[in-house]
Amino acid sequence: MPVNLPLPQAENLKSVAGVELGWAEAGIRKANRKDVLVVRVAEGSTVAGVFTQNRFCAAPVQVCREHLAAGAGIRAIVVNTGNANAGTGEPGLAAARATCDALAKALAIQSKQVLPFSTGVILEQLPVDRLTAALPTAIANARADNWLAAAESIMTTDTQPKAASRTVQIDGKTVTLSGISKGAGMIRPNMATMLGFIATDAAVAQPVLQKLVSHAADHSFNSITIDGDTSTNDSFVLIASGKAGVTIDRAEGAAFEALRDAVTALAQELAQAIVRDGEGATKLMTIRVEGGKNVAECRQIAYAVAHSPLVKTAFYASDPNLGRILAAIGYAGVNDLDVDRVNLWLDDVWVARDGGRNPEYREEDGQRVMKQAEITVRIALGRGDAEATVWTCDLSHDYVSINADYRS
């Protein structure tokens, strides 16, 4: 059961002019399952992305980087689940290119105008024939109002599809944004087996779009973690179709900021959906570190807390075991940290004061907060003005079951 994550409703997901989505059942790994998504993008659109930092980056990620660098104008995206096409060497690269070739041929565009994405088991060759055989079906059913089915078609261990929309007024016109994401385990910064796609009908110049996607990723997909593992395939892509009659060609000013904030808020919603649906998750934890010397050390401490199996199991047990949180702060690697200035809150309950237990803290107050499904851990370092926020979930029996059983 995801944590406070309502099922998206098709009628709430808005079409983005210039973007059509179609799915197919290719039988990549299992039969009778949506496992291929094709997204068609109108001519003249701009597309930008950020990708995994894992040294073992998957074949499709390499091809995405090449095709974006080619600058020919992206016209289509193809995603498959069931196989990540990672650790597959030259044959894997050839399979990713063959996929692009097949889709390009069917759409009468160039291969370098296609971006490929894969997610699933790694170290096994992609069954490229099954994938390309399914492309005509996906193309045939591509529609602008297909966002919910698109979200379903990229799911792996996700228990439910993740999709959301919003609109924002810019220069007196309505700009629409819709997005989908997938991912449930192996999630941490730098985009672990996480895929996110957002489209808007604003027109955005390529360098501005790249700034937008980086900013949104840093404040969303790169600020979540389930288990600290980073995948070989993570990608977040932003599409601007330009059909809304609003043009943003500078990375400053009110119009830019309005779109940036809308993209970031939508990316946060989609990224938090991944944590809410984290493998085995029963709680959403927001780890907010403030009063740091710089953002990097705030993130370092937030991640140490978010990754600690002892902290995560304590939250699973609704146990206000504050010592485990303090211990994680202590070993985060900020070597000149003065622990006597550290303060800690669970939501509104002040639990640790000046490095030790707050004398006024009562266990029952901590217990009350820990029973909630959503909890904010706020850590004040008392050494500066920087801050950072990371979202994570608890570590439960179901996490072990899911990951001990994933391939069988």
Q: Kindly state the smallest distance separating residue 8's Cβ from a second copy, in Å.
A: 27
279 marked as part of a ligand binding site: yes
Q: Is 408 in the site for a second copy (CB under 8 A)?
A: yes
Determine the size of the site formed for a second copy (CB under 8 A): 65
Q: Is 123 in the site for a second copy (CB under 8 A)?
A: yes
Q: Is 94 in the site for a second copy (CB under 8 A)?
A: no
Q: Is 221 in the site for a second copy (CB under 8 A)?
A: no
Q: Is 207 in the site for a second copy (CB under 8 A)?
A: no
Active site residue 157: no
Per-residue x/- marks for a second copy, 23-62, CB under 8 A? ------------------------------xxxxx-----
CB 336 within 8 Å of CB 383: no
174 marked as part of a ligand binding site: no
Site stretch for a second copy (CB under 8 A), options 63-71, 186-194, 196-204, 289-297:
186-194
- 351's tokens: 């639990």
Q: Kindly state the smallest distance separating residue 400's Cβ from a second copy, in Å.
A: 5
Q: Given the complex with a second copy, which of 12 and 401 has the nearer CB atom?
A: 401
**Three-state secondary structure string covering the chain:** CCCCCCCCCHHHCCCCCCEEEEEECCCCCCCCCCCEEEEEECCCCEEEEEECCCCCCCHHHHHHHHHHHHCCCCCEEEEEEEECCCCCHHHHHHHHHHHHHHHHHHHCCCHHHEEEEEEEECCCCCCHHHHHHHHHHHHHCCECCCHHHHHHHCCCCCCCCEEEEEEEEECCEEEEEEEEEECCCCCCCCCCCCEEEEEECCEECHHHHHHHHHHHHHCCHHHEECCCCCCCCCEEEEEECCCCCCEECCCCHHHHHHHHHHHHHHHHHHHHHHHHCCCCCCCEEEEEEEEECCHHHHHHHHHHHHHCHHHHHHHHCCCCCHHHHHHHHHHCCCCCCCHHHCEEEECCEEEEECCEECCCCCHHHHHHHHCCCEEEEEEECCCCCEEEEEEEECCCHHHHHHHHCCCC
Q: Kindly state the smallest distance separating residue 342's Cβ from a second copy, in Å.
A: 8
- Type of residue found at 210: Q
Per-residue x/- marks for a second copy, 227-256, CB under 8 A? xxxxxx------------------------
Site stretch for a second copy (CB under 8 A), options 100-108, 202-210, 379-387, 394-402:
394-402
Subset of residues 285 to 344 that bind a second copy, contact rule: CB under 8 A: 307-310, 313-314, 316-317, 319, 321-324, 326-331, 334-335, 337, 339
**Rounded distance, CA 212 to CA 260, Å?**
6
Q: Kindly state the smallest distance separating residue 368's Cβ from a second copy, in Å.
A: 16
Q: Is 364 in the site for a second copy (CB under 8 A)?
A: no
Q: Is 385 in the site for a second copy (CB under 8 A)?
A: no
Site stretch for a second copy (CB under 8 A), options 39-47, 62-70, 175-183, 184-192:
184-192
403 marked as part of a ligand binding site: yes
**Which position among 81, 88, 119, 193 bears the catalytic label?**
193
Which residues are at the interface with a second copy (CB under 8 A)? 53-57, 84, 86-89, 92, 121-124, 185-186, 190, 192, 227-232, 307-310, 313-314, 316-317, 319, 321-324, 326-331, 334-335, 337, 339, 352, 354-357, 395-397, 399-401, 403-408
Which residues are known binding-site members for substrate? 156, 182, 193, 279, 403, 408
